[in-house]
Amino acid sequence: EEQVVESGGGLVKPGGSLRLSCAASGFTFSNAWMNWVRQAPGKGLEWVGRIKSKASGGTIDYAAPVKDRFSISRDDSKNTLFLQMDSLKTEDTALYYCTTDLLGKIAPAWGKGTAVTVSS
Amino acid sequence: DVVMTQSPLSLPVTLGQPASISCRSSQSLVSSDGNTYLNWFQQRPGHSPRRLIYKVSNRDSGVPDRFSGSGSGTDFTLKISRVEAEDVGVYYCMQGTHWPPFTFGPGTKVDIK
């Protein structure tokens, strides 16, 4: 069974940084295209970014609100996905989910999310 | 960016009765590869989202057959043939044709009358 578990969330001041991790199991992580999706408190879902597998070029795409501040990376040797978040803003406060491919024939795995609060 | 809209945003339903949610995109979701990347997700209260439908009408494994998706171009519909108590939650459509970014609709909250 595909599983992903996010970690690394917490309280950070505006302008600060945080690094989220997503540990994957139950599937061949190196072949997977992975996403970060966030959900602000009481709000809807917002796609943050995606990283393709190295075999597919390893391309990384970001949503406009986070581009140039957030960075997605992966360590296939450790089956782990990362989200480096810099220059954090109060509007980045959200539950951050890691997911597998949102468009594939296999239903994407979602973790329980890790909460990020940006506040002074 | 493609803007996704949903209606209604709130849908009180009677147990055992059908329900229907509409999703519209600001441009056609037909991809250059001929596929239409329109997904439906369910998020039950206190839970992570779960995909129900991919490419307009394909049900994910384990999804009850009372859920069905239809549509084309810019207009799409999620139908629940007979609502059960476990169907309470928020339903989101999401397009994956024109990226980045993938975009979600605002969500439709389904609850029991």
Choose the closest CB to A97 out of B48, B58, B105.
Answer: B48
Mutate to test the interface with B, among A47, A68, A96, A106 (most CBs of B within 10 A): A47
Q: Distance (Å, rounded) from C-alpha A7 to C-alpha A80?
A: 11
What percent of chain B clears pLDDT 90, i.e. is strictly above it? 100
Surface of B (21-60) touching A: CB under 8 A: 37, 39, 41, 43, 48-51, 54, 58, 60
Q: Give the pLDDT of residue A22.
A: 98
Name the percent of chain A lying above pLDDT 70: 100
| B49 contacts A62? CB cut-off 8 A | no
Q: State whether A61 and B99 contact (CB < 8 Å).
A: yes
The pLDDT score that the predictor gives to residue A8 is 98
**Mean of the per-residue pLDDT values for chain A?**
97
Cβ(A105)–Cβ(A2) below 8 Å? no
From the list B54, B60, B103, the residue facing A103 with the nearest CB is B54
- Distance between CA atoms of residues A78 and B18, nearest Å: 46
pLDDT of residue B56: 98
pLDDT tens for each residue of B22-78? 999 999 999 999 999 999 999 999 999 999 999 999 999 999 999 999 999 999 999
Name the residue facing B100 among A45, A61, A105 (closest C-beta): A61
Tokens representing B91? 């339903």
Nearest chain B alpha carbon to A64: B101
Which tokens go with A32? 């997977």
**SS3 sequence of chain A:** CCEEEEECCEEECCCCCEEEEEEEECCCHHHCCEEEEEECCCCCEEEEEEECCHHHCCCEEECCCCCCCEEEEEEHHHCEEEEEECCCCHHHCEEEEEECCCCCCCCCCECCCEEEEECC
Confidence (pLDDT) at A61: 97
Is the Cβ pair B101, A45 closer than 8 Å? no
pLDDT-derived band at B105, boundaries 50, 70, 90: very high
Residue A118 near residue A93 (C-beta atoms within 8 A)? yes
Chain A residues whose CB is inside 8 A of the B54 CB are 103-105, 107
Q: What is the mean pLDDT of residues A25-50?
A: 97
Confidence of residue A48 (pLDDT cuts 50, 70, 90): very high
- Calculate what percentage of chain B has a pLDDT beyond 70: 100
Task: State the pLDDT at residue A84.
Answer: 98
Looking at residue B67, its pLDDT comes to 98
pLDDT tens for A27-37 read: 999 999 999 99
Task: Identify from B57, B102, B103 which residue to disrupt to test chain A contact, counting A C-beta atoms within 10 A and taking the largest count.
Answer: B102
pLDDT tens by residue, B14-28: 999 999 999 999 999
For B51, the closest chain A residue by CA position comes to A107
For β-strands A70-75 and A60-62, DSSP reports them as unpaired
* pLDDT for position A46: 98
Q: Are strands B108-112 and B10-13 parallel, antiparallel or unpaired?
A: parallel
Residues A53 and A101: beta-carbon distance below 8 Å: no
